Structure 1
Amino acid sequence: MDTPTELGEFLRTRRARLRPEDVGLVSYGARRRVPGLRREELAQLAGVSAAYYTRLEQGQSGNASEAVLDALARALRLSEDEHAHLRNLARPGRARRRPPERPESVRPAVRQLIAALDVPVIVLDRRSEVLAWNPLGHALIAGHLDPTAPDRPADRPNLQRMLFLDPHTRELYPLWEEEARRAVASLRLAAGRHSDDRRLAELVGELLMKSPEFADLWARHPVRNCVSGVKLFHHPVVGELELTFETLRTADESGQWMLMYSAEQGSVAEAGLRLLREAEVHPRRAAARH
C-alpha cells in the first residue's frame, strides 16, 4: 500500500470533521474553501509550522517525531485506535524481503479447543481469512458454504469478501450497514499495521473494484479496533439472533485470532443457538448412517 498517500488522506479526513469553533479557534464567517480545519489552523493547534505539516500531509516527510504525532492526535481529537493508526502510517515498518509465503495453519491445540467449545467459534488471520471453525461457527455464518473449505488454502472463505460480495452473507445481517462500517474500520487498522502485506493490499484492491459500498466506506478512513460488541443475525434456519461477540488473540506470534459468539442465558437467542446446534448435528448423523 502507498503509505504516504494513506497518511495524507487520513489526516485530511480528520481535519475535515473538525470546525474552528470545535477547537476554540475564531471563525470570522468568511467563505471557507475546505470543510473543517485548514492546514494552517491544524498546524497552529499542534504547535508545528504550516510548511512542515503540509509536507507531512503530502507524504514528503517520513521522520515525524513521537511528540509531533502526539500533538497532532490531540489537536485532531483522535481516539486511541486512530492515534495508533496515525503512528502506523507515519512510521511504517521498513520494507523487507519476505520469504515465500506458506499457507497458514491452525495449531492442533487451538483446533481441539474450538471443537470443545459449545458456542460458535471462527479462527481468522489478520486478513479476515477463515482458517478454521467449529460446526456451530460454520452453521452460524456460512451454512451455505462447504464446511471443509478452511482446510484448503485456495478455497478459504474471507469474512470481508463475504460481507461485501456474497448475497447470502448480506442477508444474514439485518443491520448490514453497521456491520460493513465495523468491518472496514477493522480492516483499515490492519492495513495500517501491515502496510507491507501484499495479500492484504490485494484484498483491499479487489473490494475497491467490486464493491462501490466498500469503496465509499474505505474513502472515509474509519479506524476502530472492534474487539467486542453485539450483532444481530437473521439466520435462514433459526431466525433472529442477538449475539454478543468477543475476539481473542492466540498466544503465539501468528497474528491469528478467534471470533466467538454467545447468547444471554435464558434468552431467545440461546434457544436459537440450541436449535441451530441440533440442526447441525442431525444432518451429520444422517450422512454417517449412509
Structure 2
Amino acid sequence: MDGDLGDFLRSRRARITPDEVGLPSHGRRRVPGLRREEVAQLAGVSVDYYIRLEQGRGPSVSDAVLDAIARVLRMDETEHAYLRTVARPRKEQQRRRPAAPRVRPGVQLLLDSMERVPAFILGRRMDILAWNALGDAVSGFSRMDPAVRNIPRQVFLDPAARDFYPEWHAVAAQTIANLRIDAGLHPDDRELCALVGELSLKNEDFRRLWADHQVAACAYGVKRVRHPVAGLLTLPYETLAVPSDPDQTIVAYTPEPGSETAERLALLGSWKATKAATIS
C-alpha cells in the first residue's frame, strides 16, 4: 500500500520526545516527537537520505540503516520486522495473483479432533477459512455470509460485535495491529486494499485506529466473549503456523481445565451437538 513506510516512520517519530533521546526540547516545534533531521542525526545517516527514505524515494536500504532507525525510534521486535518488510517489499510476489485459499483435509481433520478446544484457521486478511464444531459454537462462523467471513469485518461492521466482545476497544486495536502486518507483507493485495477502503469508509473507529499505524502480532493472549448461550467466557488463545501453508494460522482457545469457562464450553458443546441432532 502506497505511503505505508512514510506513515509508519512518521507515527513512530511522533511518539518519541527529544528528552527521551537526550536532545534539547526548547524552542518552537511544529510537529510532535522527533524531527526528521533529529532521527537522521541519531541514526548516523544524512538528512537527505532519511527524508527520501521516509518519502519512499530512497535507494535499497541496508539492514544496518534500518537497525539504526529502529533503535532510535525504540521499535519493538514486531515493529522492527515490519519496518524491514515495508522498506523492502518483495516485488516478485506482488505481481502474482494468489491462488484461492484451501485448507488441506488433514488440517481440517486436526481441527475436528480438537473436540474440547474451540479452534479455527485464519488466512490472508484475517479471513476465516475453517473451524471445528466448538469453534463454530463459540463464534458462529457457519452463520456468517461466506463472502464477508472475516475477523476485521466482524469486529467493525457487525452491530453485535460490541456486545460479543466486552473489551471491544482492545479487540479492535489488536485486530488492526495484526492486519497491518499482513498489509506490510502484501502491499499490492487488491482484496486487502479493498477491505481497508471499505472499513475506513464505513467505520470511524477503524479509520482512526488504522491511521495510528500500530503493529503487533497476535501470537497468544486472552480474549473475553459474552456468548448468548454460555455467558461470559475467558479464553486464553495460542496461534500455530501451518508450515505447508505459510498464509494460514491455527487459532486455538485453551481455557484452564476445570475452570468455569472450560465447564461452560463443555455444556455449549453438548448443547450444540443436541441441537444439530434434533435438526437432522
Structure 2 length normalisation: TM-score?
0.95
SS for the counterpart of 1:127 is helix
Q: Does the alignment pair 1:39 with 2:31?
A: no
2:27 maps to 30
| CA distance in 2 between partners of 1:170 and 1:280 (Å) | 23
Question: Bigger CA drift: 253-262 or 241-250?
Answer: 253-262
1:253, CA displacement in angstroms? 3.4
User: Which deviates the most, 215-224 or 268-277?
Assistant: 268-277
- Between the aligned partners of 2:132 and 2:11, the Cα distance in structure 1 is 40
Map of 1:78 onto structure 2: 75
Matched, 1:191 2:189: no
Partner of 2:192: 200
Q: Counterparts of 1:73-152 in structure 2 under 5 Å?
A: 73-94=70-91, 96-99=94-97, 101-118=98-115, 119-142=117-140, 145-146=142-143
Question: Corresponding residue for 1:21?
Answer: 19
| CA apart distance, 1:257 | 1.0
Q: What is the CA–CA distance in structure 2 between the aligned matches of 1:102 and 1:88, rounded to whole Å?
A: 22
In 1: Cα distance, 2:200 partner to 2:177 partner = 15
| Among candidates 47, 50, 56, match of residue 59 of structure 1 | 56
Superposition deviation, residue 126 in structure 1: 1.9
Number of equivalenced pairs: 278
Once the two structures are TM-superposed, the CA of residue 64 in structure 1 deviates from its matched residue by: 1.4
Query: CA 1:20–1:204 in 2, change beyond 3 Å: closer, same or farther?
Result: same
Check whether the contact 1:186–1:224 (CA below 8 A) recurs between aligned residues. Answer: yes
Partner letter of residue 126 of structure 1? R
Deviations 1:230-272 (A, max 9, x none): 1111111111111111111112034111111021122111111
Range 196-205 or range 180-189, more displaced = 196-205
The separation in 1 between residues aligned to 2:67 and 2:246, in whole angstroms, is 29
Q: 2:212 corresponds to which letter in structure 1?
A: R
Which residue of the other structure, out of 238, 242, 245, is the alignment partner of 2:230? Answer: 238
Instruction: Measure, in 1, the Cα distance between the counterparts of 2:81 and 2:218.
Output: 14
Query: What SS does the aligned partner of 2:222 have?
Result: strand
CA distance in 2, matches of 1:219, 1:48: 27
> For the Cα contact (< 8 Å) 1:141–1:169, is it kept in 2?
no
Specify every segment of 5 or more residues in structure 2 that has no aligned partner in the other structure, as ranges: none
Equivalent-residue separation in structure 2 for 1:139 and 1:158 (angstroms): 17
Q: SS of the counterpart of 2:234?
A: strand
What are the residue-to-residue correspondences of 1:256-275 with 2, within 5 Å? 256-275=248-267
The answer to whether the 8 Å contact 1:111/1:132 transfers is yes
Gaps of 5+ in 1: none
CA RMSD of aligned residues (A): 1.5
1:278 to partner: Cα distance: 1.3
Shift of 1:102: 4.0
In the TM superposition, what is the alpha-carbon distance from 1:196 to its structure 2 partner? 2.3
Q: Letter of the 2:89 partner, please give it.
A: P
Contact 1:142/1:169 (CA < 8 Å) preserved in 2? Answer: no
Question: Aligned equivalents of 2:209 and 2:80: distance in 1?
Answer: 19
Secondary structure of the equivalent of 1:245? strand
In 2, are the aligned partners of 1:124 and 1:259 still within 8 Å (CA)? yes
Normalising by structure 1, we get a TM-score of: 0.92
Shift of 1:131: 1.1
